[in-house]
Structure 1
Amino acid sequence: MNKGYRCMVRLLDDQEEILECDFQGHQKGDYLMEEVCSKLNLIEKDFFGLRFVDETKQRHWLDLTKNILKQVKSMNPIIFCFRVKYYPKDPHRLAEELTRYHVYLQLRRDLLHGRLYCSADDAALLGAYIVQSELGDYDPSEHAGNYVSNFKILLKQTPETEQKIMELHQTAMQGQVPATAENNFLRKACMLDTYGIDPHPVKDNKGNQMYLGVNYAGVVTFQGSRKTHHFKWSEITKFNYEGKMFVIHLYYAETKRTMGFKCVNSAACRYLWRCAVEQRLFFTLHSSRDAPAIVTGGSFFSRGSKVRYSGRTEREMLEHASSVTRDPPRVRRSLSFRNRLNEGTPTVDEEDVNYRPQQMGPSRPYTNAPYGTNKVPSNTPYSNSMSNATEPGMQTNAIEKQQRPDLLHTPDGDVRKRLPSGEIRTRRHSDVTGTHSPGFDPAQTPEPGEIVRPPKSSYPPSGFGKSFSWNRFLKVCPWAMLFSVLFVLGSLLIVLEVDNETLRPLKESHEIEVLSRNYYLPLKAQLRKSFNLFE
C-alpha cells in the first residue's frame, strides 16, 4: 500500500493561505499541478509551474512527467512555490482575466524583488498602477500625506520615488478600475528588457560577471543594467552544457558560432540548460507532438541530462483557452502590499531569497543611488555584488570556527584542539567528523600537554612507501595509453559508421559533424583510393 505524503504550496499572493496538498508515493508531478490549478480555478495552467529549493539551495522546477517523491526526497517539510514559468509574449492574449491577474501578481513580485529592473520613470508608472488597483481613484479626504509609504512596491523605494508615484496616481489614473489598472501594468511591463527574465549568474570567456536570462524572445545577457547580448530563437540551433560551461550554438549570417558561459557550479548549469531548452520548445513549437527528446552528453566524467517536453506549447494553449466556454471566474483581489514598508523588509519566502546558488556571496547594503539609475542597487539580481563566490569547504570551516573557538584550523586541512596547558592536539578531519582509523579509541582522553597520535596498529605496514616502482609504472603506462587511444578510436568509428537510432543524436552533434567532415571522410576517401578499403 502506498504511503501518503503532504506538501505545502505557497501562492503568488503572500496574503492568501498556503495550500496543503496530499499525494501518494507513486504519483507524478502532473497530479500535483492539476490539484493546485483546480483549487485556483485556472484553465490556462501550462504557463505556470511549481518550483522548489533543494538542500543545496539550488532551485528546480517540478518535472510533471516524473515521480514527485523522487524529486523532493531530501526535503522536509516539502514546500513548493506556485510561479509563472512561461511569461507570455502578450499577456492580453490570455483568455481569462483570472490568468492575467496571476501573471500580474508574478510581475508585481518581480518588481518588488528587483528582477523586473527598469528606469525610475517606468518604476514610478508601474507603482502608480499598483496603487490605483488597490486604492482606486485619489480622494483627498482619505489619501492624505505620503499614503504611498504604506506600500512596499519597489526593491529600492525612496521618498522621491514615492512622490512620483503619488503624482501619477493623482493625475493620470482617474477612472481606472482594478482590472484596467492591472492590464495597463501588464502592457507596460511586457515591453521592458527584463520582462520574464530570471537572472542566472554567469561569467563570459573573459571572466566578466554577468547575468543570463531566457524569455519568449530568446536568450538575453546583462552586465550591470546594460543588455549586452540578445540571441533570438531563430538564431539558436541548440543548447548543451559540459560541467559548469553552458554553451549556445548559433547560426546567423550563414556562419555557425558558439557562445560559452561559465556557471557557478554544475547543478546551476544543468538547471539553466533545462530552463533554456523548455523555454525554446514552449515558444517555438507549433505542437507538443513535434517535441523531440533533448539530450546533452555532459562531459566524459559527468552524467548528461535529458528533457522530454510535456504539456502544451504557447500556440496550443492560446487556441485551447479561446475554445473554452465558461462563465468568467471571479477574481479575488487582496491588498497584499499594504503596510509592508513598516515591517522593514519585503515579505519573501525561501524560494525568492535563494534564487541564486548557494556559493554566491551575500548581498552588500544598498547604495544611495535612486532606483533605475545606471548604478544598480547592490542587492538586485543584476548587481555585481552577487559574484562573490566562495569555495564550499571555506563555508564549512568558517561555520566551525564560529561554533568551536577551541579549534585551530591549519592551512593543510588539519584541525588542532587547544588543550588546557596551551599545547595543541592535532586531529585529522576524521576526528572532527566522527570517523576514525582502525585501532584508534576516541574515548582515550589525553593528559594535559600530551600530543595525541594513533596507536601503531593504525599505521600502514612498514615498507608501504617503498612499494611504488617507477619501472613498473613506465612499463604499464604506454600499454594503458594505447588501450585508451584504441578504445576512443573504436568508439568514434562505431558512431561514424553505424546507423542506429540511439547513436543518431550523438552522430548529428556539431562536434562529430566537424570531425567527420574535416578528417574522417577525407581519410576514408584516401584509404579507399590507395588500398581499396571501405568498398
Structure 2
Amino acid sequence: MPFRIRLRRHRRYNVLSKNCFVTRIRLLDNNVIECTLSVESTGQECLEAVAQRLELRETHYFGLWFQSKSQLQRWVELEKALKKQLDKFGNEPLLFFGVMFYVPNVSRLEQEVTRYQYYLQVKKEILDGRLQCTVEQGIRLAGLAVQADFGDFTQFQSQDFLREYVLFPVNWPHVEEVLEEWTQKVAEEHKSHCGMQPAEAELLYIKEVERLDGYGQESFAAKDNYTNDLYIGVSFIGVFAKHRNGRSIMLHRWKDIGNIGHNKSAITVEITSKDDTMMFHTEDMEMAKYIARLFTARHKFYKQNKICTEKENQRCPCFPVLSFYTDSIFHEDLYYKSETSLDRCPVDFAFRNGTVPNGSVYSTPSMNSLNHSQTFMQASPMSSSLSIPGSDVMRPDYIPSHRHSKLKRVVRTLRVLLYIKSDEASSHA
C-alpha cells in the first residue's frame, strides 16, 4: 500500500477581490462602462476615470449619482470613499454620470466634448419629460437632434427611420395619427438643416433648451409660514419660490444671499440686501437639512465663479421678468469642496392643452462638490480600469459613428468655435 501524504487545506484569499470592487457607470449616451476601484477610492477618482474615457477635461460641471435604497437619486460625495456610500445608501453598484452645475450660456463651455455631453444631458431631460416644451418647440428640437445624431437627410433613401427614433417626450400623447403628423413635421425640420455640422446642431439645440422654463433648476415641495404649498428651489441665478401651478413668487440672486441653514424642519435663507431672513418648512428635519446643504453648495459654486451678474435690459430665459447677463467663469485655478451628497426627487407631470406642464418643479442634476481644480487631473491607476461590456453596445441613435474620429472632432471644434464667435459678434452688433 503506497504511502500517502495528506496535506492540510488552507483557505486561499483573493487579495484583488478583498481590496477592489467593480462598479458600473451609465453614461449620458446610455452606454454602460465598468470601473475597477480600490475600496478606498473616492468618488472623485471614479469621476476622473470616466473623464479619461470621455476625453473630458471640464469635469467641474459633472458628477456621479446613484439610486438610493429609498428610490431617490443621490449624488456621490466626491471626496469620500465611493464603496462606503454605495454600501450604505445605494440600491446597487450602478452609477450615473451627469451634469451637476448648469451655465446660462453654452458658449461658456470651452471643450467640444463638454458641449456634446451637455447636449446629451438636456436632450435626455426633454425626452424624459423633465423639461417641458410646446409641440412647436418639441418638433424644432427633434429636427435639430436628428441632424446632430444622423447628419444630412440626403444620406438616406427615405426618412422612414424617424418612426423608429425617439423624437418626442415620453409624456406626450401616443396617438398614432398625431405622432405621424408630428414625425412628418420633424422630417421637414430635418431637411431645413441640411449642411449643418453636428456640433452646430447640438449648440442650437442647447440654446433652444436654455430658453425653457425650468432649465437648470432644482425644486422641492415646501410650505411658507402661512402653510401655503409651494416649491422652493435653486438655479444658476439664485434661490426662488413658486406656486404649485408654476407661477413665480420670488427670486433672490446669489449675490444678495448670506447664510443658509436649517432649524429642525425649517429652512432659513438670509437675504443680506434686505436685512431679512426667509423661512420655509419641509416634512421633516432630514429633508430640511438636505435642502439647506443643497442651497449652500449651489451658493458657494455660483458665487465663486460669478456665472450670473445683474445687468439691465437683458433677460434670463428661466425667469423672464428678471434681467441678467453671463460673466466670465472658470478663469482662475479654483478648488471646490463638497458640501453634501444630495438627493433628487422627481415630480410626475400630466399632459394638458397640447403642451407639457411647467417644468420648474423637477429636480435636475446640480449640486455637490468638486474637490479638484479646473485643470485636468489624471486618475489613479486603480480607478482607470475601464471597459465596455459586450452586452452594452452603444445604440446608434445615441452615438453616431462620426463621434469616434479624433480628426473630425478637431475639425468640428474649429467649426463650432467659428460659429460661437460669429454668434457673439452678431449679438454685439
Question: Fold conserved (TM > 0.5)?
Answer: yes
Residue 199 of structure 1 aligns to a residue whose secondary structure is strand
Cross-structure match for 2:19? 3
Q: Aligned residue for 1:192?
A: 212
CA distance in 2 between partners of 1:230 and 1:268 (Å): 21
Is 2:121 the counterpart of 1:106?
yes
1:163 CA displacement = 5.1
Q: How many residues align?
A: 310
CA contact (8 A) 2:142 2:167 kept: no
Give the structure-1-normalised TM-score.
0.52
Name the structure 2 match of 1:48: 62
- Partner SS for 1:73: helix
Q: Is the 8 A contact 2:269 2:277 kept in 1?
A: yes
Q: 2 CA distance for matches of 1:77 and 1:146?
A: 35
Identify the match of residue 274 of structure 1 among 293, 297, 314: 293
Equivalent residues in 2 for 1:292-371, closer than 5 Å: 317-318=330-331, 355-356=344-345, 363=348, 366-371=350-355
CA contact (8 A) 1:136 1:178 kept: yes
1:92 aligns with one of 107, 117, 123: 107
User: Do the aligned residues in 2 keep the contact of 1:205 with 1:261 (CA within 8 Å)?
Assistant: yes
| Letter paired with 1:273 | A
**Can you list the C-alpha shifts for 1:37-72, whole angstroms capped at 9, x where unaligned?**
112211101110011222123332211222223322
1:39 maps to which of 30, 48, 53:
53
Equivalent position to 2:28, from 4, 9, 12: 12
Post-superposition offset of 1:126:
1.9
Q: 1:134 to 1:140 in 2, by over 3 A?
A: closer
Q: Does 1:175 align with 2:189?
A: no
* TM, length-normalised to structure 2: 0.63
Amino acid at match of 1:263: T
Question: Any conservation in 2 of the 1:239–1:277 contact (CA below 8 Å)?
Answer: yes
1:213 pairs with 2:233:
yes
Q: 1:151 aligns with which of 158, 166, 176?
A: 166
Shift, 1:210, TM fit = 3.3
Could you tell me whether the CA contact under 8 Å between 1:197 and 1:215 is conserved in 2? Answer: yes
> Match for residue 165 of structure 1?
186
Call closer, same or farther: CA 1:250–1:195 in 2, change over 3 Å. Answer: same
Decide whether aligned partners of structure 1 residues 35 and 136 sit closer, same or farther in structure 2, where only a CA change above 3 A counts.
closer
In 1, Cα distance between the equivalents of 2:91 and 2:120? 28
Query: Which blocks of at least 5 consecutive residues in structure 1 are unaligned?
Result: 288-313, 322-353, 384-535
Quick one: structure 1 residues 116 and 21, their matched pair in 2 at CA, closer, same or farther if it must change by over 3 Å? same
CA contact (8 A) 1:60 1:271 kept: no
| 2:136 counterpart (113, 117, 121) | 121
Determine whether 1:241 maps to 2:255.
no
Q: Which residue of 2 aligns with 1:283?
A: 302
Let me know the Cα RMSD of the aligned residues.
Answer: 3.2
1:123-174 CA deviation, whole Å, 9 max, x = no partner?
3322221122223334597345693563243233352654553443344x23
Q: Any unmatched runs of 5+ in structure 2?
A: 1-14, 307-326, 335-342, 363-429
**Shift in CA distance, 96/146, structure 1 to aligned 2, threshold 3 Å:** closer
Once residues 63 and 121 of structure 2 are traced to their aligned partners in structure 1, the CA distance between those partners, rounded to angstroms, is 12
Q: Which residue of 1 aligns with 2:404?
A: none
Letter in 2 for 1:19: I
CA contact (8 A) 2:264 2:288 kept: yes
The answer on whether the counterparts of 2:62 and 2:100 sit within 8 Å (CA) in structure 1 is yes
Match of 1:291 in 2: none
Matches of 2:253 and 2:137 in 1, distance apart? 25
The 2-side partners of 1:317 and 1:174 are apart by 35
Residue 411 of structure 2 aligns with which residue?
none
Distance 1:220 1:34 in 2: 33
Tell me if the contact between 1:49 and 1:82 (Cα under 8 Å) persists in the aligned partners: yes
Change (3 A) 1:283 1:264: same
Question: Which structure would you say has the larger Rg?
Answer: 1
User: 1:320: Cα distance to partner?
Assistant: 6.4
Helix, strand or coil at the partner of 1:126: helix
- Tell me what 2:396 maps to: none
Cα 1:157–1:132 shift into 2, 3 Å: farther
**1:262 and 2:281 matched:** yes
What is the one-letter code of the residue matched to 2:205?
F
What is the DSSP-based 3-state SS (H/G/I as helix, E as strand, rest coil) of the residue aligned with 2:275? strand
The 3-state SS of whatever aligns with 1:92 is helix
